[in-house]
Structure 1
Amino acid sequence: MWELQTLVDVGIRNFQNFCNSMEDHPGMVLVSAPFDGTDFLAWRRSVVIALRAKMKLGFIDGHYPMPDKTCDTYETWIRVDSMVTSWILNAISKKISKAFLYTKSSRQLWLDLEERYGENNGPLVYQLQRAIASITQGSHTVVEYFNNLTTLWDELECLKPPKTCTCGLCTCGFTRITAEEENLTKLVQFLMGLDDSYEY
């Protein structure tokens, strides 16, 4: 019994240490530009990166669900979740945030935002694929053109389902072959958009 209680106490302390930080406070700003109703995908990505860096991503993705009210970590969870909720609200323009002030948790707030402003992946994938196919260097330098193309590639990568090997340790070479195919595709896309005066 003593050993079990010790494990419980250690778990509680670890949870509290994990959640607490002297730098964390409700007024903290996660992203440089608040969400104004446009470009939700980029804003979403910025918030996810920020929360992952703060070790709080689990509160919005469902990995840290609310514990039972009888659990010793309940009050700590409520406090930290309220702080995460505040961070997300601070990352939204005041005009939009008013509609989400009464959500019960950061997880629910996140789901509501995705439901209202997120788009089905199909149309987004189509738009990005079309943009990649039509982008050209134009008046941009090669570096600027490559950066613009890389942004589109990265956005598309976030939407595509991951390709995984089924053999376990990937002794079949699937991961390597897939990476080589994707790199070749990107190279062709890059070359197709280069200015005609560029020799390759």
Structure 2
Amino acid sequence: MVLEQQSLPLPQLSSLPPQPPQLFSSLLLSSSNYIQWSGFIKTILSAYNLEDHILQDPPIKSNPPFKEWQKKDNQVFVHLLLSLDEVHKSMVACSPNAKALWDHLSALYGQTNNIGRVFELRRQMADMRKDNKTLPQLFGEFGNLWSELEVLRPPTTDPTEIIKRQNEDKVFSLLMTLGDSILNYEIGNSENAKYLS
């Protein structure tokens, strides 16, 4: 018996969902993953040709296409909210549009001179252990940290910046030797206070 091969109809482009899928909630923003999160969100929005909602100012309300823009902007806004943890949702829920929400988070976490985050990345890389991870998992984790570090500290040939980074790295190295004990440092102790002044 010969079976006839049937071909299934391909979906028409117009039948695809008009807004971005639930991909937004697969990576939630936290205080330590802004660069990774923002790149992920920009990629999704770009795929749906909606990145202008976070990169450009809204059109004037009196323009005829404003209503259509506002509908799409509300969709982007909701999807952005879905990609935030509860703390961040409460910070930006009253933003007037998607761009205002995006700008607020960018101002909080998007500074490329975020020295605290640079230290945290260095510390995480220094503390990495293979444990039960496979080698590809370990390389992937390290690669993600390194990529974020390169965004915060891109390669430079500026001598002043190189010296600044060398000095920061010295401080980082010293702080990493202290471990968590720095958090328990007793400032009130007169013996310790002389080192902090």
TM-score (norm 2): 0.55
Corresponding residue to 2:95 among 91, 98, 103: 103
Cα separation, 1, equivalents of 2:140 and 2:21:
33
Comparing 68-77 and 82-91, the one that deviates more? 68-77
SS of the aligned residue for 1:47 comes to helix
Cα separation, 1, equivalents of 2:129 and 2:140:
12
Cα RMSD of the aligned pairs, angstroms, is: 3.4
Counterparts in 2 of 1:22 and 1:144: CA distance versus 1, 3 Å: closer
Runs of 4+ in 1 over 4 A off after TM superposition: 25-29, 116-120, 133-141
- In structure 2, the residue matched to 1:39 is 32
Corresponding residue to 1:152 among 145, 149, 156: 145
Q: Would the aligned equivalents of 1:89 and 1:97 in 2 still touch at CA under 8 Å?
A: yes
Paired amino acid for 1:83: Q
- In structure 1, the residue matched to 2:118 is 125
Q: 1:130-168 CA distances to partner (integer Å, 9 max, x unpaired)?
A: 4445646566554333223212222223323477xxxxx
Cα separation, 1, equivalents of 2:40 and 2:31:
14
Between structure 1 and structure 2, the one with the greater Rg is: 2
Alignment map for 1:118-197 (pairs within 5 Å): 120-132=113-125, 135=128, 137=130, 140-161=133-154
Q: Would the aligned equivalents of 1:31 and 1:91 in 2 still touch at CA under 8 Å?
A: yes
- In structure 1, the residue matched to 2:76 is 84
Q: Would the aligned equivalents of 1:100 and 1:109 in 2 still touch at CA under 8 Å?
A: yes
TM-score (norm 1): 0.54
What is the count of residue pairs matched by the alignment?
142
- In structure 2, the residue matched to 1:196 is none
Corresponding residue to 1:23 among 9, 17, 21: 17
Identity %: 24
Q: Would the aligned equivalents of 2:53 and 2:98 in 1 still touch at CA under 8 Å?
A: yes
Cα separation, 2, equivalents of 1:26 and 1:141:
33
Comparing 47-56 and 109-118, the one that deviates more? 109-118
Gaps of 5+ in 1: 1-19, 164-200
Q: Would the aligned equivalents of 1:34 and 1:91 in 2 still touch at CA under 8 Å?
A: yes
Q: Does 1:52 align with 2:52?
A: no
Cα separation, 1, equivalents of 2:87 and 2:131:
38
Gaps of 5+ in 2: 1-13, 157-197
Counterparts in 2 of 1:122 and 1:38: CA distance versus 1, 3 Å: closer
Paired amino acid for 1:76: E
Paired amino acid for 2:152: L
